[in-house]
Amino acid sequence: MNKRPNIYLKLFLSTLQLSAFTFGGGYVIVSLLQKKFVEKFKWISEKEMLDIVAISQSSPGAIAVNSSILIGYRMAGFWGALSTLLGTILPPLLIITGISFFYEAFRDNQIVSAVFKGMQAGIAAVIVDVVYRMGKRYFVDKDYLSIAIIICAFSLSFFLEINVIFIILGGIALGVIIYLINRKKQKTSNSNGYGHIEKAVEQPNKENPDKDQTSQDIGSTTQISKDSENSKEGEDDLC
C-alpha cells in the first residue's frame, strides 16, 4: 500500500526535474525521458519507449506531454498519468508566465539572444542523439522492413516536403496491413499443423503396416509364455 504514493511522487519529481531544466522542445525531453525511465530506472523497455514516442507523435498535442502521460499511465494507471502530467506542464507554465511580464526586455536583450543562439546548436546535437539511439536497434536487429520505412519517411519529408501528418497516416496504414498479413500467415500455419496431427492420429503406421502386425505377434507370444509359466506353477503345487 505504501509503494503507490512513493511511485506517484517519484513520477512527479522525475518529470518535474526534466521539464524544468530541459530546453529545446519535445524531442529533447523524449531523449531524457528515455535515459531516466529506460536506462536508469529500467521501468520500461526500449521497444515500449519507441511505441510511446510513435503514439505521442501521432496524437494531438505536445509530444513531451503526451509521452509523459503515457509513461505515467503505463507505470501507475490514471493517477500515475496525472502525476507525470502535472510534473511536465507546471515548470513551463510558471516560467512562460513569468517571462511574459518581461517579454520586451528579453526580446531586445543581446545577451539573451546570444544564449538562445548557443542553445540552438546544443538542441540540434541532442535531437541527433535521440535519432541515433532510437534508430540503432533496428540496424542491430537487422529489421530491414523498419529500416526501409525510416528511409522512405525521411525522404518524403526532407526531399519532397510532404506533410508529416500524411507520412504518419501512411505509416499507420502500412503497419495495419503488415499486421493483417502476419496474422493470416500465422492462422494458415496453425491450421496446417493441426491437419498434420489429425492425419497422424487417423492413419498410424501407414508407411510401415507390418509394424502393427509384429507388435501383435510379440504380444501373443508374451501371453502364451505367461500361460505356460502359470500352468507349470500349478503342476508344482499339485505335486
> How would residue 202 be classed by pLDDT, with cut points 50, 70 and 90?
low
* pLDDT 10s digits, 34-69: 888 988 888 998 888 888 988 888 788 888 899 999
* pLDDT 10s digits, 154-195: 899 989 989 888 998 898 899 899 889 988 888 888 777 655
User: Over the chain, what is the mean pLDDT?
Assistant: 78
- What is the dihedral angle through the alpha carbons of 145, 148, 150, 152, rounded to the nearest 10 degrees? -140
Segment (H or E) for 33: helix 26-33
Highest averaged pLDDT of the listed ranges 30-39, 130-139, 222-231? 30-39
Amino acid at 153: A
> How would residue 199 be classed by pLDDT, with cut points 50, 70 and 90?
low
**pLDDT of residue 235 exceeding 50:** no
Strands (E), the chain: none
**Mean pLDDT to the nearest integer, 110-125:** 79
Give pLDDT, residue 224: 47
Tell me the whole-structure pTM to 2 decimals: 0.63
> How would residue 234 be classed by pLDDT, with cut points 50, 70 and 90?
very low
CA distance 194 to 200: 10
CA distance 226 to 220: 10
Give pLDDT, residue 219: 52
Q: Residue 70's closest CA among 92, 58, 55, 60? A: 55
Give pLDDT, residue 238: 39
CA distance 170 to 157: 12
> How would residue 96 be classed by pLDDT, with cut points 50, 70 and 90?
confident
Highest averaged pLDDT of the listed ranges 98-112, 115-129, 132-146? 132-146
Neighbours of 168 (CB within 10 A): 15
